[in-house]
Structure 1
Amino acid sequence: MSPRHPASTPVTTPASTAASTPVTLLVIAKEPVPGRVKTRLTPPYTPREAAALAEAALADTLHTVLRAPARRRVLVLDGAPGPWLPPGFDVVRQETGGLDERIAAAFVGCDRGPALLVGMDTPQLTVDLLSEAGHGGHDAWFGPAADGGFWALGLADPGLAPELVRGVPMSTDRTGATQRRRLVEAGLSVSDLPVLRDVDTAADAAAVAACCPPGSCFATTLNSLARASR
């Protein structure tokens, strides 16, 4: 997909805003329905087991976001809420289109002030990682993923998202580098968050579960599936 908005045209946003305004935390996710989520886990897992792992990863992510300081918490959802959704979130429907369009729309729907978006694929996420965003006087926060994508994107001015995100090719090993370059070429100061590993394959699931905090739903679910297969 070719960029619709040239990133060579600098855009500006007051970095001081990010240092003083609480952040809106966005989680972009898909309802964990068998056959629709985590299809790369199948095999070795069945579609139902892959959906159970997706639900566990989403539940961990939502509960971590609940514990992090925020002005507002929003679940940007493709599908319908389920019992995995805790109180404390506004739920909005994902827009149609490619992932770049849906991410951009999620930011545009925010109130004024900094916003940080994460996905449902990093259940090892911690409150400390989320708390890094919205501070330090930066214009953007970027969390690269080990597979070349990104697990977090934050903007001090969410209204800039359409020109910064639309047109970035998603789900490639250069997605993260392309997105970060967009931010830099737009003249934004970028704070880099640590690299995290997404859960895409069975090997990812095992590695991520080993990094999850104690009591993780994801690690517990993975371990129970392993015991059941013995």
Structure 2
Amino acid sequence: MSPSPAGPTLLVIAKEPVPGRVKTRLTPPYTPAEAARLAAAALADTLRTLLRVPAARRVLVLQGRPGPWLPPGYQVVPQCGGGLDQRIAAAFAGCTGPTLLVGMDTPQLTPELLAPATRGDGWPPGRAWFGPAEDGGFWALGLAEPRPELVLGVPMSTPHTGREQRRRLRAAGLDVRELPVLRDVDTALDAALVAAAHPGGRFAATLDELTRRPTPVGPVAGGGGR
């Protein structure tokens, strides 16, 4: 199939930002509710960025229910069960032609960073795009023709995930082109560094609001009078 001049299908794989179920490594210093707010902001920034790049269609592959962070312009499909490799593979299986998947953990994403993989001429037959993450995983994966079997069985959420996924792509004879290395938001330090890299987004504004929250004042020890 020849590349679409409109760009690839864009997939975003995400969880509904529910307190206690997302961004748990942000707690502490943030509460589960605050961590969920940061997750919602990161997802909103990602979805809005993808509205600004060429795409044949845009699909949110969601675990949970849509919320006010979802802008118009997306088809929402539920994630399948199983491990992350199975869920990513199933997302690709629902597509034909050039397809680029990104996660919800890189709100610093910009159209310029994605430009090589969203142009119509960036998808000759046999092309793959790979966006490595600083923690050893990956934030983006693109295939000129979806091949779910290239993801199945890749151990996810390890320091070697990206290396194994890249090896799979090359072993299949694909021409692997790399996107810039990005930092996922997992810890409070990650959040601060990502917000500093993209200060104009909703994620940065939410983080700024939370870091400026007043410190709760408890009872003063020994302060009771008689």
Q: Given the alignment, which residue of 185, 189, 196 partners 2:182?
A: 196
Residue of structure 1 in register with 2:114 after alignment: 130
Q: How does 1:69-218 map to 2 (within 5 A)?
A: 69-110=54-95, 112-134=96-118, 135=122, 137=124, 139-158=127-146, 160-161=147-148, 163-212=149-198, 214=200, 216-218=201-203
Q: How does 1:25-64 map to 2 (within 5 A)?
A: 25-64=10-49
SS of equivalent residue, structure 1 residue 194: coil
Could you tell me how far apart the structure 1 residues matched to 2:99 and 2:26 are?
31
Could you tell me how far apart the structure 1 residues matched to 2:182 and 2:20 are?
25
| Contact 1:18-1:139 at 8 Å conserved across structures | no
Tell me how many residue pairs correspond in the alignment: 211
Distance 1:82 1:136, change over 3 A: closer
Q: CA RMSD in A?
A: 1.4
Q: CA deviation at 1:139?
A: 1.2
Q: CA deviation at 1:22?
A: 2.2
Which 5+ residue runs of structure 1 have no aligned equivalent?
1-13
Could you tell me how far apart the structure 2 residues matched to 1:152 and 1:129 are?
11
If asked which structure has higher relative contact order (CA below 8 Å, sep 6+), I would say 1
Distance 1:136 1:98, change over 3 A: closer
Distance 1:184 1:201, change over 3 A: same
| Contact 1:21-1:114 at 8 Å conserved across structures | no
Q: CA deviation at 1:212?
A: 1.1
Q: TM-score, structure 2 length as denominator?
A: 0.90
Which 5+ residue runs of structure 2 have no aligned equivalent?
216-226
Higher CA-based Rg? 2
Residue of structure 2 in register with 1:6 after alignment: none
